[in-house]
A and B are shown apart, each in its own frame.
Chain A
Amino acid sequence: MAWQLKFFFILIILRISYAFALPPDDAQHPVFHVLKGDCESSQIDFLDSVTVLCAKAKAGIQQNFNLSQPINNFWLRYSRAYLGFHYGTAISFHISRRLYVAQTMAGELKTVDENVDGDFMFVRLGNPLRHRWRLNFGKIRLPFGIDQSKLAEGIQIEKNHFFTSRAALGGYFSYEDNSANLIEFGLSAPSLARKNDPQISFLRPNKFKESSDIVFRAAHDISALNGSRFVFSVLYNDFLFRRYGIAYVVSGFDRDLFYFEFIRKTHQKINSRYDQIFKLNYISNWTNQSRWIFEFEEESKRDRSGFVEYDQMIFNNLIFKTAVGVKNGQSSSNKSVFYLVSGLEAHL
Chain B
Amino acid sequence: MRLKITNLLFIAAFFIQKKSFADEKDDLEKKHSSSNTIEEQSISVDFHAEEKVDDGFFAVPIEQLLRNSAFVSGLNSGADAINSSVESLMDAVFYGILDSDFEKKIDNNWTLVSGMRRDLFSAPDGSYIVIDRIKIGPSFGRELWRAHDISVALGVDGAFEVFDIYRRYDGMRVFEKDYLPQWRIWANNWLGLLPILTAILPPSFNQNELYDPLRLISGPLTVPLTSKLFFSMPVGSIRSYAISGGINVPVNFSSVVPQTIQKTLRSSWDLNEHLPYSIFVHGEHRINVLRRDNDTAWVGLKKNERFGHNFTPLVGNQISILKGALAVHLGKLDWIWSGVPIAVFPLDWEFEQSLAHVYDQVYEFDMRNVLARESYEAAVRGDFTMAGRLHEERVNVGKDTGVKFHFTRRQSKNEAAIRNRSNLALLRKDHIRDRSMAEVEVTDVEGKFFVLESQHDLSDKSWDVLVGEEDVRYQSHLQIPVQKIFPNENTNNLNDFSYLFDSHADPLSLSISMAVNDRFADVSEYREYLKKIQFFTKINLKDVPEFDLVDAKRLAEFRQKRLFDEPENDIFRVHVMPQHIGGFGAYSVVHFSKNQIEKLVNLSEDSIWRAFARAFGENERDWWDSEKRDRFVNQLGWLKYFFMIPARIFQVKSASADFIAETTNAIRQLKQVKESQSPTDQLDAFYRLFDSDYIPEITRALLELADLDAVPRNVRFSVQPKGLADQRLKDLYRTLNNKVFHEGPVLPVSTRYQVAQEKIAEFYLDRPRDGSNKPSISRVFLTSQQIPLSLRSLPYSETAAPLKHDKHAIIMLECKNTRNNSPLKVFVRVEQAGKLKLGKLHLAEQVFDILPLDEQSRGIPDLLRYEFYLTGPLSPVSSFLFEEAVEAGDSLSVTIAVSADGVVWSSERQLEFRLVNGRLSKPE
**Residue A188 CB within 8 A of the other chain:** no
Given A225-B466, A231-B571, A252-B838, A39 contacting B564 (CB threshold 8 A): yes
Residues of B within 8 A of A182 (CB): 570
Are A148 and B563 closer than 8 Å at their CB atoms?
A: no
Interface residues of B in 521-550 (CB under 8 A from A): 522, 524
Residues of B within 8 A of A147 (CB): 571
Are A35 and B838 closer than 8 Å at their CB atoms?
A: no
Of chain B, the residue at the smallest CB distance from A254 is: B837
**Residue B643 CB within 8 A of the other chain:** no
Given A45-B560, A223-B578, A301-B323, A253 contacting B267 (CB threshold 8 A): no
Residues of B within 8 A of A278 (CB): 321-322
Residues of A within 8 A of B522 (CB): 223
**A253: which of B524, B559, B570, B835 is its contact (CB, 8 Å)?**
B835
Residues of A within 8 A of B748 (CB): none
Are B575 and A178 closer than 8 Å at their CB atoms?
A: yes
Are A41 and B564 closer than 8 Å at their CB atoms?
A: yes
Residues of B within 8 A of A229 (CB): 571, 574
**Residue B599 CB within 8 A of the other chain:** no
Task: Give, as a whole number of angstroms, the nearest-CB distance from A93 to chain B.
Answer: 11
Given A40-B561, A45-B563, A244-B269, A298 contacting B324 (CB threshold 8 A): yes
A248→B562 CA distance, assembly (Å): 20
Are B560 and A304 closer than 8 Å at their CB atoms?
A: no
Are A94 and B567 closer than 8 Å at their CB atoms?
A: yes
Of chain B, the residue at the smallest CB distance from A227 is: B574
Given A223-B577, A223-B578, A40 contacting B571 (CB threshold 8 A): no
Task: Give, as a whole number of angstroms, the nearest-CB distance from A78 to chain B.
Answer: 17
Task: Give, as a whole number of angstroms, the nearest-CB distance from A163 to chain B.
Answer: 15
A274→B323 CA distance, assembly (Å): 18
**Residue B183 CB within 8 A of the other chain:** no
Are B838 and A253 closer than 8 Å at their CB atoms?
A: yes
Task: Give, as a whole number of angstroms, the nearest-CB distance from A329 to chain B.
Answer: 9
Residues of B within 8 A of A14 (CB): none
Quick one: CB contact mask for A76-116 with B, threshold 8 Å, 1 for yes? 00000010101001001010100000000000000000000
**Residue A219 CB within 8 A of the other chain:** yes
Interface of A is mostly: strand
Are B575 and A249 closer than 8 Å at their CB atoms?
A: no
**B564: which of A52, A219, A301 is its contact (CB, 8 Å)?**
A52
**Residue B65 CB within 8 A of the other chain:** no
Task: Give, as a whole number of angstroms, the nearest-CB distance from A298 to chain B.
Answer: 7
Quick one: CB contact mask for B551-581 with A, threshold 8 Å, 1 for yes? 0000000011111111110111111111010
**Residue B49 CB within 8 A of the other chain:** no
**Residue B724 CB within 8 A of the other chain:** yes
Are B322 and A248 closer than 8 Å at their CB atoms?
A: no
Residues of B within 8 A of A230 (CB): 426-427
A180→B578 CA distance, assembly (Å): 10
Interface residues of A in 57-82 (CB under 8 A from B): 82
Interface residues of B in 463-482 (CB under 8 A from A): 464-467
Are A250 and B577 closer than 8 Å at their CB atoms?
A: no
Task: Give, as a whole number of angstroms, the nearest-CB distance from A15 to chain B.
Answer: 15
Task: Give, as a whole number of angstroms, the nearest-CB distance from A88 to chain B.
Answer: 11
**B560: which of A42, A227, A306 is its contact (CB, 8 Å)?**
A42
**Residue A200 CB within 8 A of the other chain:** no
Residues of B within 8 A of A141 (CB): 568
Residues of B within 8 A of A89 (CB): 563
**Residue B81 CB within 8 A of the other chain:** no
Q: Which of A16-24, A121-129, A151-159, A310-318 contacts B (4 or more CB under 8 A)?
A: A121-129
Are A82 and B575 closer than 8 Å at their CB atoms?
A: no
Quick one: CB contact mask for A152-182 with B, threshold 8 Å, 1 for yes? 0000000000000000000000100011101
Are A227 and B576 closer than 8 Å at their CB atoms?
A: yes
**Residue A136 CB within 8 A of the other chain:** yes
Residues of B within 8 A of A92 (CB): 564
**Residue A146 CB within 8 A of the other chain:** yes
Are A257 and B321 closer than 8 Å at their CB atoms?
A: no
Quick one: CB contact mask for B229-253 with A, threshold 8 Å, 1 for yes? 0000000000000000000000000
Q: Can you name 26 A-B pairs with beta carbons within 8 Å?
A: A38-B561, A38-B565, A39-B566, A41-B563, A54-B565, A86-B564, A94-B566, A96-B566, A127-B563, A129-B563, A141-B568, A223-B524, A223-B577, A224-B466, A225-B466, A228-B466, A229-B574, A230-B426, A250-B466, A253-B837, A253-B838, A257-B572, A266-B267, A266-B268, A272-B267, A304-B325
New A-B contacts (7) at CB < 8 Å, excluding given A128-B573, A180-B577, A249-B572 = A41-B564, A54-B566, A94-B567, A223-B580, A226-B574, A227-B577, A298-B322
Identify the B interface with A (CB < 8 A). 267-269, 321-325, 426-427, 464-467, 522, 524, 559-568, 570-578, 580, 724, 835-838
* Nearest 10 A/B pairs, CB to CB: A223-B577, A224-B466, A227-B574, A227-B577, A223-B522, A39-B564, A229-B574, A253-B836, A41-B563, A221-B575
Identify the A interface with B (CB < 8 A). 35, 38-42, 44-46, 52, 54, 56, 82, 84, 86, 89, 92, 94, 96, 120, 124, 127-129, 136, 141, 143, 145-148, 174, 178-180, 182, 219, 221-231, 244, 248-254, 256-257, 262, 264, 266, 272, 274, 278, 280, 296, 298, 301, 304, 306
